[in-house]
Amino acid sequence: MLEVEGLSKIYGGLRAVDRASLRVAEGAIAGLIGPNGAGKTTLFAAITGFALPDEGRVRFAGVDITGRAPHRICAQGMVRTFQITQPFAQLSVRENIMVGAYLHTPDRDEAAARAEAVARQVGMAALLDRTAAGLTVAGRKRLELARALATRPKLLLLDEVMAGLNPSEIDEIIPVIRGIRDAGVTVFLIEHVMRAVMSLAENVHVLSYGKIIAEGAPRVLAADPVVIEAYLGHGAAQRLAGAAHA
Amino acid sequence: MSAWRVPVALLAVALAYPLVFRTNFAINFGVLVLFFAVIGQAWNIAGGFAGQLSFGHAVFFGTGAYCSTILHVKLGINPWLGLWASAAAGALVGAFIAALSFRFGLKGSYFALITLAFAEAFRILTNAVEFTGGGLGLLIPLKRSAANFQFPERIGFYYTILALAALSIAIALWLKRSRFGARLAAIRENEDAARALGIDTFREKVKIMALSGALCAAGGTFYAQYFLYIDPVVVFGADKSVEMLLVSMIGGTGTVYGPLIGAFLLTLVGEGTRALTNAQGLSLIIYGGLLIVIIAFLPNGLIDLFKLRWGRRRA
Amino acid sequence: MDATILGAAVINGLLLGGSYALVAVGLTLIYGVLHIINFAHGSMLMLAMYGVYFLLVKAQVDPYAAIPLMVVVMYAAGYGMYRALIGRFSHGKDENILLITLGLSIVLENIALFFFTGDSRNITVSYSDRMIELGPSLVPLPKLVSFGASLLLCAALAWFIARTDTGRAIRAVAKERHGARLVGIDVEKILAVSYGIGIACLGAAACLLVPMFYVAPTVGHLFVIVAFTIVVLGGMGSFLGALVGALLIGLTESLSGLFLGEALGQIGISLIFILILLFRPTGLFGGGR
């Protein structure tokens, strides 16, 4: 579904993303993890057309989409959400979701029906007439998800939809994401909440200093010394192993 | 069908008004209200609905006024045809300024400043060139007849500007209910999110500026035919741009009826103070003060008063 | 083209730029700190010019001698206006600040029109017509004085911002409003002080302009669009930028007037404004956007 090859994004000499390559299979839930500042959001931006890549290619559903404008990429079926939620603040939840739904229909009633269906799917049907500005953090995260879903994507890129949620809210949203995949949408998510990554993703890519340093099933990666060091610093794996032995 | 109750009632009142109040003063008052409502709405669909704040909408107004007047005075083309030519010219100038500014990524106050700069450039150009009559402006020769867009009776002008005002409100109503309008609202609220959801923000912004320019230019032609005289300062000056912005801001930006409310108030204050005193400036003192008071206490414009009164309805 | 005429146009342009700098320097300070375009700038200048005019006519105070008084009065007016209106009623939105300053400019201008009528007024002081020989051309003394004063004013402001405690606080607020609040700076007060200083500059500008310019309710218009252009050209918030920008704009106006004729010559400024907005909106001396 998504193939990224040797993608780089350079900001003032700094390689925010450094020759990253990865694949996301159709129908999968794939994860992208890595320490803060590793370049995860930049990689998403470069894939979805928000940042022009300096090197490398992005292929989506067999088509080379490198450097295309975000709205064209979205129209082709790949849509992203934002880590820092970007609601249309003065519009209602319904109107927010309808903006997404309008991608495939000019008809107001059809878009409204689609918005209601999506709202039910992500569990915010009761909030449809609320103003987006008045939503809680959890509500805003769901709204990001709902708007993106309303565009009928083939591939959904989720940037930390669980950051800032409390444990029970996380428990609520995990089955929602699984349900989205079961409805036929491939999901690629950046996530810091390890519990969610473990339970959702079949395949995870680890990004550190802009480079993909590991890839595999989440349980395997959690024990990988390279990954542990990327998160906790040089020598951490050894210290952890030592502590376990003692 | 309840959505149509307000516009239909308003239209009925507006149609009947000059038949009930037949004095020249009353009809002139109605013409001015509707005229300001048209150009205020032209500003509003770009500045309010799409969030593209402009300080130089006079550039479209003046383009319209000069386009039809030059066609009429120099080439003898009927001003009713000139009206269409003006709208086309306004759309063209709107699309050009928008395409140029948005291609270079101008936003917010930078966009507002570039529209101001264009209005200034047009003012200076018309002021300096012989062809446009220079600083003296252009006088439209008096030849009263409806076919010549110079009605013998004021009521003809009234119904003409009423048609334009009805059109402008119809456009606003359509924007409230259409995909195009929803996309403009999305762009106003958050442009990045709009792009992520598949909206070609550049194209939509150019489209709305063209539409706004066309409507504003049509207002310019009406102005020229009503007063039969235009000059660079009056039609391209910053005061015209500010008037449009004020009408929309005071009534309620981004709303369908805000410009109409603002236009009514502007005309009421303007004509009212003129009746009281000969001194210049009083009406604008009140109007500027009103702007400050409204931003302080009614950030959504006077239309909020109506909503408080009748309860908040969904648009 | 005669070299003498060209030389005279250059000198004239630079001197004109000096006058523009007087007005632009306060505007750039306000923009740099508050991040808003102060639409009331032109009308505050106009009010200050009426102040200077009436001081001379009614109290025989020489315009140059009135500088300290006008600076203090205009500072107080700016500070008070910010505290009473702009800061309080903007609800923290930049857009509202813009509209309030626009409302203020409409009110102030029309109050002037109402009380002082639309007539332009001129004054004559003993040095109004004194000419100084400068290379190829004769230059009126007031123009030379205002040019020198604008250099001094820019230098004084740059020193104040760089070296004093208040200046440091202003810079902190300009850069990182939230952080400044965290380290205990009274942000609202600093914003009001900055606005006050920006307006105080107009007090000095008015004293220097009145001996060579007419006074009328709309006199601010002549300066304000030019001042916007200068502020954008120089880089919003940069004093050196404002000075250099003003000189460039003065030169442009003078030279395009020479080559294109008086009426069309003004278009040079608008074109520069458009080009700079398109190609370098951060200005010549500005940092990132």
Q: For B14-47, how does the pLDDT look when each residue is reduced to its tens digit (9 = 90+)?
A: 999 999 999 999 999 999 999 999 999 999 999 9
Q: At what angle are helices C187-209 and C141-163 packed, to 10 degrees? A: 170
Q: Does C82 touch chain B (CB under 8 A)?
A: no
Q: Which residues of A touch B201 (CB under 8 A)?
A: 71
Q: Does B199 touch chain A (CB under 8 A)?
A: yes
| Chain B: partners with 3+ C-beta pairs within 8 Å | A, C
CB neighbour list of residue A43: distance below 8 Å, 6 or more residues apart? A4, A7, A9, A17, A20, A32, A207
CA distance B208 to B211: 5
Q: Which residues of B touch C99 (CB under 8 A)?
A: 249, 291, 295
Q: In terms of CA atoms, which chain B residue is nearest residue C257?
A: B128
Q: Which residues of C touch B285 (CB under 8 A)?
A: 106-107, 110-111, 114
Residue in B100, B288, B296 nearest the CB of C278: B100
Q: Which residues of A touch B193 (CB under 8 A)?
A: 82, 86-88, 147
The answer to the question of residue B252 being in a domain is no
Q: Which of residues 37-66 of A touch B (CB under 8 A)?
A: 48, 50
Residue C118's nearest CA partner among C56, C46, C176, C169 is C46
Please give the model's pTM, rounded to 2 decimal places: 0.89
Asked if C103 lies within 8 A of B289 by C-beta distance, the reply is yes
Average pLDDT, rounded, for chain A: 89
Average pLDDT, rounded, for chain C: 87
User: Which residue range is the domain that position B204 belongs to?
Assistant: 2-236
- CB half-sphere exposure, C252, CA atoms < 13 A: 20
State pLDDT tens for residues C248-262: 999 988 888 888 887
CB neighbour list of residue C46: distance below 8 Å, 6 or more residues apart? C108, C109, C112, C215, C216, C217, C218, C219, C220
Asked if B182 lies within 8 A of A80 by C-beta distance, the reply is no
Tell whether the model's pLDDT for residue A14 goes beyond 90: no
The structure tokens listed for A65 are 């989409």
State the nearest Cα–Cα gap between B78 and chain A, in angstroms.
38
Q: Which residues of A165-180 are buried (b: 16+ CB within 10 A; e: fewer)?
A: beeebbeebbebbeeb
State pLDDT tens for residues B100-147: 999 998 888 889 889 999 999 999 999 988 888 888 999 999 999 999
Q: Which residues of A touch B189 (CB under 8 A)?
A: 87-91
Residue in B185, B198, B200 nearest the CB of A151: B198
pLDDT along chain C (289 residues), means of 10: 80 88 91 84 94 92 92 95 87 77 90 88 80 78 88 90 90 86 88 94 92 88 85 83 90 88 83 89 65
As a whole-number percent, the residues of chain C with pLDDT over 70 amount to: 98
**Are residues C188 and C90 in contact, defined by beta-carbon separation less than 8 angstroms?**
no
Domains, in order of start, for chain A? 2-245 (3.40.50.300)
Residue A212's nearest CA partner among A198, A197, A227, A202 is A227
Domain-wise residue ranges, chain C:
3-279
Longest Cα–Cα distance in chain C: 62
**Are residues A18 and A54 in contact, defined by beta-carbon separation less than 8 angstroms?**
no
- Domain boundaries C3-279, corresponding CATH code: 1.10.3470
State the nearest Cα–Cα gap between B89 and chain A, in angstroms.
29
Domain count, chain B: 1
**Are residues B263 and B33 in contact, defined by beta-carbon separation less than 8 angstroms?**
yes
ipTM of predicted assembly, 2 dp: 0.89
The structure tokens listed for B38 are 């048209």
Q: Which residues of B touch A91 (CB under 8 A)?
A: 185-186, 189
Q: Does C155 touch chain B (CB under 8 A)?
A: no
Compute the average pLDDT of residues B156-179.
96
Q: Does B189 touch chain A (CB under 8 A)?
A: yes
CA distance B188 to A141: 20
Asked if B179 lies within 8 A of A50 by C-beta distance, the reply is no
State pLDDT tens for residues B168-200: 999 999 999 999 999 999 999 999 999 999 999
